[in-house]
Structure 1
Amino acid sequence: MHIHGLIEDSAALANLCNRFANKPFVAVDTEFMRENSYWPELCLIQIADDEEAAAVDPMADGLDLTPLLHLLTENQDVLKVFHAGGQDIEIVYNLTGKTPHPLFDTQVAAMALGQGEQIGYSNLVDSYLGISIDKGARFTDWSRRPLDKRQIDYAIADVTHLSKIFPKMLDKLMKTGRGAWLDEEMERLSNPENYRNDPDAAWQRVRIPSRKADVLGRLKALARWRELEAQNKDLPRGRIVKDETLADLAGNPPRKQADLGRVRGLSSAWSSNDIGGRLVAALADAKPLSSEEMPSRDSRKPALGKDGALVADLLKLLLKIRAKEISVAARLLARSDDLEALAAGQREDLAILRGWRYEQFGRDALALVEGQLGFTVRNGKLKMTRTEETEETA
């Protein structure tokens, strides 16, 4: 494989992208820093196919990333291969408002091949290539220039390895007939809505015990205010105000700005500074949450009751058995929310009752809930049996 030097000029990048535009796939990775910022700072982009690989320096003066971003988001003929690519995809979305498509995530694919829930990249490389990755440059400050050869080699290896692993995984998926299992997951990963930071929805990430409309309305207003402050200042949300402080303020709002100096988690300066003033203004404008936005008593779980909770536990046991039998990660087969919804009586809009999940697990899960499937112990092993079979052998 031909490894290019660090690409820092627009002509070289355009030529590289022109070649990649006619390839069936490219492996992609990024290096970024975000510990001290709201927006991830893109520091390096690595890309490879089966013949050549390069690292691109997005921090180089005058470098036009347009050809590369076009390749990732507009060229539908080239499959983009990532490993655990959520944050890489987020960066592309922040730059373009679009996500790479079509895409393939090797961590998700490994779930379909029975390699665990979230296999790490180094373990994946060792499993498929028998290579132990040198982790010496893992904690590099990628924003510092110049980058030395060891750092660049370390970064490029991520995509050169990935470009060799992908065809092997694809071959396994085709042989096992599990390629179609991944279509829904890959589409979900590439959905732009997953990466849109909507200030009006930020409150949903903050834990708060209250379900009162006025309290949640204040939380919504405060979370929106914090999101905009963090974006404008390019600081992590927690550097503005921590979640627990937002929840306290929503539940016990100050009457005036001077009271902010007595709020745990805020300094005394907030009682008179500009940001404190903006916080108080956000509270003053808060309105009770509308009935349409109000969460259920527990938006994450249906009303199970004691019997339903026992059924959910049985479904989780069934899931473990089936996942082991067909060698697939349980999380790819079904999520706890779906199991609890099924146990509570829901039958509509459940992924486990559609497509391949229904064939591999959902049919038996439904049979268990409806009393047509049970568990027996044979030769010291837990087995599933149809109730008719149990009755005949009783």
Structure 2
Amino acid sequence: MHVHPLITDSATLANLCVRLAASPFIFVDTEFMRENTFWPELCLIQVADADEAAAVDPMAPGIDLKPLLDLMTENEEVLKVFHAGGQDIEIVYNLTGKTPHPLFDTQVAAMALGQGEQIGYSNLVDSWLGVQIDKGARFTDWSRRPLDERQVDYAIGDVTYLAEIFPKMLERLKKTGRGGWLDQEMERLADPANYAQDPELAWKRVRVNSRKADVLGRLKAMARFRELEARGKDLPRGRIVKDETLADLAGHAPKRQADLAKVRGLSPAWAHNEIGARLMAAIEGARPLPDAEMPPRDDRKPGLGKEGSLVADLLKLLLKIRSRDIDVAAKLLARSDELEALAAGQRDGLAMLEGWRFDQFGRDALDLVEGRLAFAVVGGKLKMTRAEAA
């Protein structure tokens, strides 16, 4: 594979993208910093196909990234391959309002091949290629310039190894007949709704020990305030107000702006400055959270009950056995909340009762709940047996 020097100009990048557009798939990774900004600061883009690889410097003066971004978001003929690509996809979405499509994530594919739920990149490379990656550059400051040759070589390795692994992984998926299992997961990853950061929903990220509508309403209003302030100043949310301070203010609302001087976690200046006034306006304008927006209870789900909780535990045991037997990550077969919903009597809208998941797990789960399946110990191993008709 030909590895190019670091690309820092628009013409070289545009020519590379023309060649990559003729490939059936490309491999993509990014390096970014997000410690000091609201939006991730894109510092490097690595891209490759089966024949060539390059790192692109998005911080180079005057460079036009549009050909590369268009290749990722507009060209439906080229499959974009990532490993644990959630944050990479988020960056593309932030830049374009679109997500790479179609896409393939090797971490998700590894779940279908029995390599665990979140296999890291270095472990993936070791397991498929027997190569131990030099991790020395992992925690480098990618925003500093100039980048040295070792840093660039390390970064490009994230796509060149992927180019070797992907065909092997694809062949294994074909042999096991599990490629089709991943279609739904990949489409879910590509859904732009996963990456849109709606200020009206920002409160859901903040942990608060209350289900009172007025408390949650204040939390929603203040989280929206913080989101807009952080975006406008391009600062991390916690630099504006920390989560625990928002939660405390939601539960114990100050009456006047002057009271902000007494709030732990806020600068005394908030008692008289403009940002403090905007916070008070958010608190004063808050309305109780409507019933339709109230979060579900955490206490073993409504309607599950003690017996249902035991049934849910049996379903989790069945999931563990089944995932072991067919060598696939349990999370790919079913989620805990789905098992609890099934135990509570729900049958509609559960992914595990549809398609390949039903064949591999859902049918047995349904049979267990409805009394047609039972646990048994056979030869020292826990197995499932068909229950005899009463």
TM range (shorter): over 0.9
Find out whether 1:205 has 2:178 as its counterpart.
Answer: no
Contact 1:199–1:224, Cα closer than 8 Å, also in 2: yes
Contact 2:218–2:287, Cα closer than 8 Å, also in 1: yes
Q: Which residue pairs with 2:231 in the alignment?
A: 231
Q: Which residue pairs with 1:241 in the alignment?
A: 241
Q: Which residue pairs with 1:160 in the alignment?
A: 160
Counterparts of 2:178 and 2:207, CA distance in 1: 38
Contact 1:300–1:337, Cα closer than 8 Å, also in 2: no
- Aligned partner letter, 1:161: Y
Question: Which deviates more, 235-244 or 97-106?
Answer: 235-244
- Deviation at 1:235? 1.2
- Aligned partner letter, 2:325: E
Contact 2:300–2:309, Cα closer than 8 Å, also in 1: no
Contact 2:230–2:236, Cα closer than 8 Å, also in 1: yes
Find out whether 1:12 has 2:4 as its counterpart.
Answer: no
Q: Which residue pairs with 1:317 in the alignment?
A: 317
- Deviation at 1:36? 1.3
Q: Deviations over 1:350-384 (max 9, x none)?
A: 11111111110000001111111110111111110
- Aligned partner letter, 2:274: D
Q: Deviations over 1:149-189 (max 9, x none)?
A: 10000000110000110110000000000001000110010
Counterparts of 1:187 and 1:240, CA distance in 2: 35
Counterparts of 2:318 and 2:295, CA distance in 1: 30
Q: Which residue pairs with 1:103 in the alignment?
A: 103
- Aligned partner letter, 2:36: N
Q: Which residue pairs with 1:49 in the alignment?
A: 49
- Aligned partner letter, 1:116: G
Counterparts of 2:376 and 2:139, CA distance in 1: 51
Provide the aligned C-alpha RMSD in A: 1.2
Q: TM-score, normalised by structure 2?
A: 0.98
| Pair 179,302 (structure 1): closer, same or farther in 2 beyond 3 Å | farther
- Deviation at 1:25? 0.3
Counterparts of 2:302 and 2:28, CA distance in 1: 39
Counterparts of 2:300 and 2:172, CA distance in 1: 35
Q: Which residue pairs with 1:370 in the alignment?
A: 370
Q: Which residue pairs with 2:137 in the alignment?
A: 137
Q: Deviations over 1:263-299 (max 9, x none)?
A: 1222222211221111001111111222322233349
- Aligned partner letter, 1:267: S
SS in 2 for 1:349: coil
Q: TM-score, normalised by structure 1?
A: 0.97
| Pair 280,61 (structure 1): closer, same or farther in 2 beyond 3 Å | same
* Uncovered stretches (5+) of structure 1, i.e. residues with no partner: none
Contact 1:43–1:58, Cα closer than 8 Å, also in 2: yes
Q: Which residue pairs with 2:333 in the alignment?
A: 333
Contact 1:302–1:340, Cα closer than 8 Å, also in 2: no
Matches within 5 A, 1:267-346: 267-298=267-298, 301-346=301-346
SS in 1 for 2:39: coil
Counterparts of 1:273 and 1:313, CA distance in 2: 53
- Deviation at 1:117? 1.1
* Uncovered stretches (5+) of structure 2, i.e. residues with no partner: none
Matches within 5 A, 1:74-113: 74-113=74-113
Q: Which residue pairs with 1:116 in the alignment?
A: 116
SS in 1 for 2:291: coil
Counterparts of 2:159 and 2:175, CA distance in 1: 24
Counterparts of 2:100 and 2:203, CA distance in 1: 28
Matches within 5 A, 1:181-196: 181-196=181-196
Percent identical = 76
Contact 2:79–2:102, Cα closer than 8 Å, also in 1: yes
Q: Deviations over 1:194-216 (max 9, x none)?
A: 00010001011112222222211
Contact 1:28–1:80, Cα closer than 8 Å, also in 2: yes
- Deviation at 1:303? 3.1
Counterparts of 2:29 and 2:300, CA distance in 1: 33
- Aligned partner letter, 1:51: D
Counterparts of 1:257 and 1:180, CA distance in 2: 58
Question: Which deviates more, 242-251 or 104-113?
Answer: 242-251
| Pair 167,388 (structure 1): closer, same or farther in 2 beyond 3 Å | same
Q: Deviations over 1:105-139 (max 9, x none)?
A: 00000000001111110010011111110111111
- Aligned partner letter, 1:27: F
- Aligned partner letter, 2:234: D
- Aligned partner letter, 2:273: N
- Deviation at 1:2? 0.4
Counterparts of 1:337 and 1:100, CA distance in 2: 29
Counterparts of 2:363 and 2:146, CA distance in 1: 57
Contact 1:227–1:237, Cα closer than 8 Å, also in 2: yes
SS in 2 for 1:32: strand
- Aligned partner letter, 1:350: L
Question: Which deviates more, 341-350 or 92-101?
Answer: 341-350
- Deviation at 1:37? 1.2
Counterparts of 1:56 and 1:92, CA distance in 2: 14
SS in 2 for 1:92: helix
SS in 1 for 2:356: helix
SS in 2 for 1:388: coil
- Deviation at 1:190? 0.5
Counterparts of 1:164 and 1:302, CA distance in 2: 48
Contact 2:333–2:352, Cα closer than 8 Å, also in 1: yes
- Deviation at 1:300? 8.6
SS in 2 for 1:39: coil
